[in-house]
Amino acid sequence: MENNAIKLLIEKILENIPSHIKPVDYLMEVLGMSRNAVYRRLKHEKSFSFNEIVKLSSLLGFSLDEIVSTTEDIWNNGSSSKLCAKMTTENSVTSLFEHFSIILKRFENAHSSQFIITADRLHFLSINDEEPLFRFLYYELMHQLREIPVNYPFSQITIPETVHQLSKEFHKRFISISHKEYIIDSNLYLNIVRDIQYFYKKGLISEKELLNIKENLRTAIKHTQMYMQMGINDLPLKKSKFYLSGMEVTSNTVYTNHNGNEESNFWLYAANPFDTNNKRICHIHKLWIDSLMRSSTLISGINENVLFEFISKQLDIVDHMDKIMY
């Protein structure tokens, strides 16, 4: 039954790819894959991931409901279907960096571009892979995906080398992209502090580890302040704008537009986002961003009083994270 679903999925993909385009070339382009990776999927040697399936159904205009109904109830067997690759922390984070590295590569030669980030909490994309915060996010995701026992301590977590390498490659490319815009929630650091405190209260993070993370958070806040005051990234002339939202930012999202090609990314679960090129969804996403922008205050290089209040609030939260449970 599962093999029938995979076979039907591939048939739907192939029959909806424009006839003047070679299927392998099309899939390489829209999924950002190598030729070998595409062939492995078409030959049933490797499953399409959930994100890949959703993206192709959106771009090619076929319904996943039809596949599911045709193959009866394969999604309701209480376990992960082979239609989608098994989600693990490593492949989720790996997929995240691969996905955004592909997006950033497209920006390198774009004549016109927009890269807008809304942030209600810290994320893998905003943290250096060598920092304790990165390890914590990785650890938290392993708990969420039930890869480790509920009493597994933070001290035992190691980051795979492939994740380290992809993170470094992403950040090197990311700082080279100019004119990024950030809309941030006023409680940007509170959300991750609450998560850290949860594991600390359960005894899974030691006091020494908590203080180490605390110091890392303070450093991250100071770096954030520095970038906001200068309005630039590490490299000269790579201007970024930071806006402090007056309304709650309810989700981490990324909206990109390069030479008129839009893409929206939404984080609902795991490290990698749901991404779509659907014009209607991208339009609605951009309208939401525009509404946030209207209620936000630009704090890059100006409005120092607002910036100071924001930074002071974040530092106060972090300074008391080992004393006050939020």
Amino acid 68: pLDDT: 57
Residue 93: in which H helix or E strand, if any?
helix 89-107
Asked if 91 and 159 touch (Cβ cutoff 8 Å), the reply is: no
Check residues 311 and 56 and name the one with the higher pLDDT. 311
What's the number of CA atoms in the CB half-sphere (13 Å) around residue 149?
5
152 is written with which tokens?
């597994």
Angle formed by the axes of helices 23-31 and 35-42, nearest 10°: 110
Amino acid 185: pLDDT: 95
Check residues 235 and 122 and name the one with the higher pLDDT. 122
Amino acid 312: pLDDT: 95
pLDDT tens track for 297-312: 999 878 889 999 999 9
Rounded mean pLDDT, 264-272:
82
Residue 5 has pLDDT above 90, yes or no: no
Tell me the Cα Rg of the chain: 21
CA–CA separation, 177 and 162 (whole Å)? 23
Cα–Cα distances in angstroms (integers) from residue 84 to residues 47, 88, 273, in the given order: 6, 12, 15
CA–CA separation, 55 and 68 (whole Å)? 16
- Judged by DSSP in three states, 322 sits in coil
- Judged by DSSP in three states, 257 sits in strand
Residue 69 has pLDDT above 70, yes or no: no
Amino acid 66: pLDDT: 62
Residue 214 has pLDDT above 80, yes or no: yes
User: Which of left, alpha, beta for 128 (phi over 0: left; psi -120 to 50: alpha)?
Assistant: beta
- Determine the length of the chain: 326
Check residues 271 and 152 and name the one with the higher pLDDT. 152
Q: Please calculate the CA angle 218-223-229 and round it to the nearest 5 degrees.
A: 125
Rounded mean pLDDT, 204-219:
95
Output the pTM of the full model.
0.74
Check residues 227 and 182 and name the one with the higher pLDDT. 182
Question: What confidence tier does 64 reach under pLDDT thresholds 50, 70, 90?
Answer: low
pLDDT tens track for 94-105: 989 988 988 888
User: Which of left, alpha, beta for 294 (phi over 0: left; psi -120 to 50: alpha)?
Assistant: alpha
Amino acid 81: pLDDT: 41
Rounded mean pLDDT, 155-160:
95
182, β-bridge pairs: 117, 242
Angle formed by the axes of helices 23-31 and 50-60, nearest 10°: 120
Amino acid 172: pLDDT: 87
Question: What confidence tier does 167 reach under pLDDT thresholds 50, 70, 90?
Answer: very high
| Count of other CB atoms within 10 angstroms of residue 76 | 8
Angle formed by the axes of helices 207-230 and 304-319, nearest 10°: 170
| Count of other CB atoms within 10 angstroms of residue 105 | 11
Residue 32 has pLDDT above 60, yes or no: yes
310 is written with which tokens?
């924001």
Residue 224 has pLDDT above 90, yes or no: no
Check residues 3 and 300 and name the one with the higher pLDDT. 300
Amino acid 46: pLDDT: 80
Rounded mean pLDDT, 78-99:
70
Residue 42 has pLDDT above 60, yes or no: yes
Asked if 60 and 17 touch (Cβ cutoff 8 Å), the reply is: yes
Amino acid 74: pLDDT: 40
Residue 115 has pLDDT above 90, yes or no: yes
Rounded mean pLDDT, 267-296:
88
